[in-house]
Chains A and B, each alone.
Chain A
Amino acid sequence: MTATTVDLSGNRLGWAVADAVTVTWRNLLTLLRTPQLLVFATIQPILFVLMFRYVFGGAIQVPGVDYVNFLMPGIFVQTVAFGATSTGVGLAEDLGKGLIERFRSLPMARSAVLAGRTVADLVRNVFVVALMCAVGFLVGFRPSTGVLAFLGGVVLLLLLGFALSWLFAIVGLGVRNAESAQAATFPLTVPLVFASSAFVPLESMPGWLQAWAERQPVTITVNAVRALMIGGPTSTYVLQSLAWSIGMVAVFAPLAVRRYRRAA
C-alpha cells in the first residue's frame, strides 16, 4: 500500500526543502488569489510615508539630513516588520481552519509549514519593499550611496523581516484566528518599530526609552540600512544587525517548530 510513497530515509533535508517549497507555493498562490490583502498591506506603509513626509515631517528636525532621506530607510524597516506579522496571522488562520491539523497528519517535514510561511512572507516583503522604493522616489527620497550599498541595505532589512516572521510564527500558533493574531502581535511591533530610530532621532526620546531603543534590533537595522542608503559609518551597525537577525532565526525557529509539533 505504501509502495508509491517515496522513501524518506537518508534524505530528510531534501524532503524538508521540497516540502517547504510546496508550502511556499501554496501560500503565494493564496496571496495572488486574495489581492485585497496585498493592497491593504501596501496602503498602510504608503500612508505612513505620506503622514511622516508631509504631516509630521516638518516638525521633526534631523541635523544635517533632509528628513525624507532620514525617513525612508525607517519606513522600509517598518514595512517589513509589519509585514512579518502576517506570518502570525496566516498561521493562526490555518490553525483555526484545521489546515495545520491536516498538515500534521501528513508524512511531511515538521518544519515545512513554518518555513513555507516565512519564506512566502519574505517574498511578499520583497514585493512591498520594491513598491515602497518607488513611492520613496516619488516623494523625494534620493539615496546618496551606490547601487550595491543600497541593495545591501535591502537584503539587511528583508533578513530582519524574515527573523521577525519566526517570532510572530510563535505568536500565531498560540491563537486561533486572524483577529487574535493581529491583536497579539501589535504590542510586540509597536515598541520595536516606534521606540526606534525609524522615524525620529533617538536623542529626542527620554533617557529610559533611549536605553531600550538604542539596543533593539529595529533601531540597529534602521541605522545600518540608513548608512548603506544615505551614507555614514556602516560596519558596526551592519554586523550587529546581521547578528540580531541570524540570532533571532536561530532561537525563534526551533521554538516555533516545537510549538507547531504540539499545536492545536
Chain B
Amino acid sequence: MAEAIEVAGLRKRFGDVVALDGIDLSVPAGTVFGLLGPNGAGKTTAVRVLTTLLVPDAGSAAVLGIDVVRGAEEVRRRIGLAGQYAAVDENLTGRENLRLVGRLSHLPGEHVRRRADELLGRFDLLDAADRVVRTYSGGMRRRLDLAAALVHRPPVLFLDEPTSGLDPRSRADLWQVIEDLVAEGTTLLLTTQYLEEADRLADRIAVVDGGRIIAAGTSSELKDQLGSTLVEVTVADGETAERAAAALGRLGPVEVADGKVVSLKVDDGARSLPGIVRLLDAEGIDLAELAVREPTLDDVFLTLTGHRTEEEAA
C-alpha cells in the first residue's frame, strides 16, 4: 500500500529546546496513526511540520509523496488540520465558518454552500448553524473545528489532541465521528495524551518522549510490552501473601509489595476477576482488598523511559 505520510530523520529545535530529535515514521494510506506522549514531547511540532506550518531544521517529510517544504502549497490542498485550540471564528456562525474555509480552499461557490450544509448535518450542528460560535459549547466547537478541516475533503487529516479538555460524553461523541471518517478511507494522524484514545482510534501508535519515538507498534503490541492489566490483592499478613502469590502464580507473573500486596499481571483485565476470587477462596485466603489497575500513559512512560510524565514539566 502507498504511504500517505513519510517522515525521515526529522529534527527541529527552538533555541536551546530540541523539539524533534530525529523522528521517523510512515503511515500507509487509509490507516490511523497515533502519536502518544505528554505535553512537550514534540507531538505538536511534528504535526506543524507535516502541515507545512513549520519548516524543519533537518530531515524530510512528505504527504502523499509531496515534500512538505518544497511542495507546501500542493500539500495544503490535500490535508485537513484540526488543532488543540478550536480554531474557529467566534464572531461568525457555524455555517459562515465552514463557508469561509470553503471559499479560502477555492471551492466553487455552489459547492461550498452544499458542503457546509452537509457537514453541519453530519456533525449534529444544524440547529446551531446560524448561531455565532461564541454561544457554542466546547464539544460543539471541536466538532465545528473538525468539520472545518474536512470542507475540501482532504485525503489526509491531522488532528492535534482532538479531545483534550472535553468532558467524557463529548469525547465519546467525537471518537464516533472520527471513526466514521476513517471508515470512509481518510488517512489520519492524531496526537493524544490519552492511551485510551490512541487505543480506540489508532491502528498503529508511536510513543513520543523528548522529541524521539521511544516505542512503536499496534496497541496490543505496546500493551504486551507493558504487561497489560494489574490485579492487586491485599491480604492480612506476609504469610497469607506468600500463599496467595503461590496460588496466583499459576495465572501469570506475580509480585509481592509491602509484604501483603500481591500484584498479578493479566491479559484480559476485569474478566479474570471471578477466576481469581474462586482460586483464592479455594485456598482459604481472606481478601482485605482487591483492585484492578489498567495501564495508564504514566505506566507506559514508566515502563519505557523509567520516568513518569510529570517529570517532563520539572
Contacts and interface: CB of A to CB of B under 8 A. Distances in A.
A99 B92 contact: no
A33 to B, nearest CB: 5
B76 A99 contact: no
A105 B51 contact: yes
Contacts of A22: 100, 103-104
A4 B105 CA distance: 10
Interface stretch (A56-64, A106-114, A144-152): A106-114
Contact of B106 (A8, A33, A103): A8
A1 B87 contact: no
B52 A105 contact: yes
A107 B106 contact: yes
B273 interface: no
A2 B89 CA distance: 25
Interface residues of A, number: 29
A6 B106 CA distance: 6
Interface in B142-189: 148, 152-155
Nearest to A100: B87
Interface in A59-109: 97-99, 101-108
Contact of B92 (A18, A26, A108, A264): A26
Interface in A21-42: 22-23, 26, 29-30, 33-34
Interface in A102-135: 102-108, 112
A103 B104 contact: yes
Interface residues of B, number: 35
Contact of B91 (A18, A34, A108): A34
Nearest to B108: A6
A1 B153 contact: yes
Contact of A97 (B81, B87, B108, B132): B87
A15 interface: yes
A112 B111 contact: no
A77 B177 CA distance: 53
Nearest to A3: B153
Contacts of B84: 98
B81 A4 contact: no
Given A1-B153, A5-B152, A30-B91, A101 B105 contact: no
Contact of B76 (A1, A26, A106): A106
Given A6-B108, A112-B104, A101 B53 contact: yes
Contact of A105 (B76, B103, B108, B111): B76
Contacts of B86: 98
B78 A1 contact: yes
Contacts of A99: 87-89
A112 B86 CA distance: 21
- Say what secondary structure dominates the interface of chain B: loop
Contact of A5 (B83, B87, B89, B106): B106
Nearest to A2: B77
Given A5-B77, A30-B91, A105 B104 contact: no
Interface string B77-114: 11101011111111110001000110111111001000
Given A102-B81, A102-B148, A6 B76 contact: no
Nearest to B152: A5
A233 B104 CA distance: 47
A6 B78 contact: no
B73 interface: yes
A26 B99 CA distance: 10
Contact of B105 (A29, A97, A107, A264): A107
Contacts of A34: 91
A16 to B, nearest CB: 11
A29 B154 CA distance: 28
Nearest to B145: A102
B79 A105 contact: yes
A2 B76 contact: no
Contact of A106 (B89, B90, B105): B105
A97 B107 contact: no
Contacts of A1: 78, 153-155
B21 to A, nearest CB: 22
A106 to B, nearest CB: 5
Contacts of A18: 103, 106
B231 to A, nearest CB: 43
Contacts of A104: 52-53
A97 B53 contact: no
B107 to A, nearest CB: 6
Contacts of B155: 1
14 contacts: A1-B153, A4-B107, A4-B152, A8-B106, A22-B104, A30-B92, A98-B87, A102-B87, A102-B101, A105-B52, A105-B76, A105-B79, A107-B77, A108-B104
Interface of A: 1-2, 4-6, 8, 15, 18-19, 22-23, 26, 29-30, 33-34, 97-99, 101-108, 112, 264
Given A18-B106, A99-B88, 11 more contacts: A4-B107, A15-B106, A33-B132, A98-B87, A99-B89, A101-B83, A104-B53, A105-B81, A106-B104, A107-B105, A112-B104
Q: Give me the 3 closest cross-chain CB pairs, A-B, nearest first.
A: A98-B87, A102-B87, A30-B91
